[in-house]
């Protein structure tokens, strides 16, 4: 039987004829199989997906060779609009999940992709998003190995929502945690803050603003590898997405019972982003990012780490923006350009909804 099966020709993939998504494409029947085959299987093309099983299966020995701990994460993406300067919901879903793994020190390996599609969505939009996901996965060095498709009636969702989960391996000896920050540590960022939030605000077209800001959406696993190669005992790393760097630093301060002391003049903010914030009454410290991380690094290694980051495309504008202090604990303080100081607290809500 095995010999016969090995001689069978490769499975012929189905083709989708419809130009828009209908409820039939979520029914579990032929229309759904056509959609999955033509849009997702053909785009994400890999041996795990080709088997059409209900799950991806892995050799544990391959995992064990990469580390001694499994890292897993999941996130959902509801960004509006679906396409924006510098990316789209597909690149956002892949890079966001890759980054959530990478900031733990893990090597990202595999992703899932579950889509909730509103009836009436153009199939070409879905194709474009799927292609963006695959391109982002190729850049990050990960595979999309399993997924799910649901279709809901018109008005029950807003065009397209995506959920992705990811798994990766953490090498032995890597211990990156939010509660590791210690007084004297340096606070490092890998570049300009607020680009993603500003790009989304501009892309919505509600403000008639002329802006050239693009989202910073990018995978950070390559940069983090460089950082860990330079300093294996980095204390904390987190990507600054919703809530911006202010939220991440408050999380670090609370977890480690320390004070995060920032120098406003050292924080890189594009002039266009600063101008948009002034017009809208926003604070760039709270604007979302999709390709920025905050790292807490022992002071004696900080300059070496920043120099290494500067040589990587995702860290070209990396800078030391402050230091960890002992008091007042559980607090973030910003030394302003004018010589004063203010507390940077967590926002109660979001400055801009549906930015990721």
- 3-state SS record for the chain: CHHHHHHCCCCCCCCCCCCECCHHHHCCCHHHHHHHHHHHHHHHCCHHHHCCCCCCCCCHHHHHCCCCEEEEEEEEECCCCCEECCEEHHHHHHHHHHHHHHCCCEEEEEEEEEEEEECCCEHHHHHHHHHHHHHHHHHHCCEEEEEEEEEECCCCCCCEEEEEEEEEEECCCCCCCHHHCCCCCEEEECCCCCHHHHHHHHHCCCCCCCCCCCCCCCCCHHHHHHHHHHCCCCCEEEECCCCHHHHHHHHHHHHHCCEEEEEHHHCCCCHHHHHHHHHHCCCHHHCCCCCCEEEEECHHHHHHHHHHHHCCHHHCCCEEEEEEECCCCCEEEEECCCCCEEECCCCCCCCCCCCC
Q: What is the pLDDT of residue 1?
A: 44
- Both tokens of 236, joined, read 């904390």
Question: For residue 119, what are the contacts with CB-CB under 8 A and spacing of at least 6?
Answer: 21, 22, 23, 151, 152, 153, 154
Residue 267 reports pLDDT greater than 80:
yes
Each domain of the chain, given as residue ranges in start order, spans 10-170, 178-343
Cβ atoms of residues 166 and 73 within 8 Å: yes
Radius of gyration of the chain (CA): 22
The pLDDT of 282-306, averaged and rounded, is 97
Residue 6 reports pLDDT greater than 80:
no
d(CA 37, CA 123): 13
Question: For residue 2, what are the contacts with CB-CB under 8 A and spacing of at least 6?
Answer: none
Q: Tens digit of pLDDT for each residue in 168-189?
A: 999 999 999 999 999 999 999 9
Pairing of strands 236-239, 331-335: unpaired
Q: Tens digit of pLDDT for each residue in 120-138?
A: 999 999 999 999 999 999 9
Provide the whole-model pTM.
0.94
The pLDDT of 68-94, averaged and rounded, is 97
CATH classification (class only), 10-170: alpha beta
**Where does the pLDDT of residue 5 fall: very low under 50, low under 70, confident under 90, or very high at 90 and above?**
very low
Instruction: Kindly report the backbone phi and psi dihedral angles of residue 36, in degrees, each rounded to the nearest multiple of 5, phi listed first.
Output: -65, -45
Q: What is the pLDDT of residue 279?
A: 87
Instruction: Kindly report the backbone phi and psi dihedral angles of residue 58, in degrees, each rounded to the nearest multiple of 5, phi listed first.
Output: -130, 155
d(CA 53, CA 293): 36
Q: What is the pLDDT of residue 9?
A: 52
Q: What percent of the chain has pLDDT over 70?
A: 95
**Where does the pLDDT of residue 14 fall: very low under 50, low under 70, confident under 90, or very high at 90 and above?**
confident
d(CA 263, CA 340): 11
Q: Tens digit of pLDDT for each residue in 311-329?
A: 999 999 999 999 999 999 9
Q: What is the pLDDT of residue 217?
A: 98
State whether CATH 3.90.650.10 applies to domain 178-343: yes
Of residues 263, 270, 271, the one with CA closest to residue 321: 263
Residue 7 reports pLDDT greater than 70:
no
The pLDDT of 281-309, averaged and rounded, is 97
Angle at 68 between CA 65 and CA 70, to 5 degrees: 100
Instruction: Kindly report the backbone phi and psi dihedral angles of residue 160, in degrees, each rounded to the nearest multiple of 5, phi listed first.
Output: -155, 130
Is there a shared CATH topology between the 10-170 domain and the 178-343 domain?
no
CB count in 10 Å sphere of residue 184: 13
Q: What is the pLDDT of residue 126?
A: 98
Residue 165 reports pLDDT greater than 70:
yes
Residue 10 reports pLDDT greater than 80:
no
The more confident residue out of 348 and 232 is: 232
The pLDDT of 47-66, averaged and rounded, is 91
Give the sheet arrangement for strand 319-325, strand by strand: 236-239, 293-297, 186-189, 319-325, 259-263, 331-335, 341-343
Q: Tens digit of pLDDT for each residue in 198-215?
A: 999 989 876 666 668 999
Q: What is the pLDDT of residue 4?
A: 44
């Amino acid at each position: 039987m095995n010999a016969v099966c090995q001689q069978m020709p490769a499975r012929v993939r189905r083709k989708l004829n419809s130009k828009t998504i209908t409820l039939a494409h979520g029914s579990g029947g032929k229309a759904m199989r056509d959609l999955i085959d033509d849009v997702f299987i053909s785009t994400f093309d890999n041996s795990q997906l080709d088997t059409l099983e209900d799950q991806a299966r892995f050799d544990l020995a391959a995992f064990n060779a990469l580390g001694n701990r499994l890292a897993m994460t999941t996130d959902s993406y509801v960004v509006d609009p679906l396409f924006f300067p510098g990316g789209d919901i597909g690149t956002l879903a892949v890079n966001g999940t890759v980054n959530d793994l990478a900031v733990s020190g893990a090597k990202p390996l595999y992703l899932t992709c579950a889509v909730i599609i509103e009836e009436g969505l153009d199939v070409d939009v879905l194709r474009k998003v799927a292609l963006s996901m695959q391109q982002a996965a190729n850049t990050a060095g990960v595979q999309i190995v399993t997924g799910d498709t649901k279709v809901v009636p018109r008005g029950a969702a807003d065009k397209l929502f995506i959920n992705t989960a990811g798994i990766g391996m953490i090498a032995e000896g890597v211990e990156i945690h939010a509660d590791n920050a210690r007084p004297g540590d340096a606070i490092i960022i890998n570049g300009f803050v607020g680009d993603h939030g500003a790009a989304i605000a501009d892309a919505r077209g509600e403000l008639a603003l002329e802006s050239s800001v693009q989202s910073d959406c990018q995978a950070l696993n390559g940069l983090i590898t460089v950082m860990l190669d330079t300093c294996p005992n980095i204390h904390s790393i987190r990507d600054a997405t919703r809530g911006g760097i202010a939220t991440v630093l408050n999380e670090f301060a609370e977890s480690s019972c320390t004070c995060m002391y920032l120098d406003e003049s050292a924080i890189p903010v594009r002039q266009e982003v600063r101008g948009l914030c002034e017009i809208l009454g926003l604070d760039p410290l709270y604007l979302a990012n999709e390709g920025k991380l905050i790292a807490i690094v022992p002071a004696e290694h900080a300059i070496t780490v920043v120099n290494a980051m500067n040589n990587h495309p995702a860290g070209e504008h990396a800078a030391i923006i402050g230091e960890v202090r002992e008091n007042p604990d559980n607090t973030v303080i910003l030394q302003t350009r004018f010589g004063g100081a203010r507390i940077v607290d967590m926002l109660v809500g979001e400055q801009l909804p549906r930015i990721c």
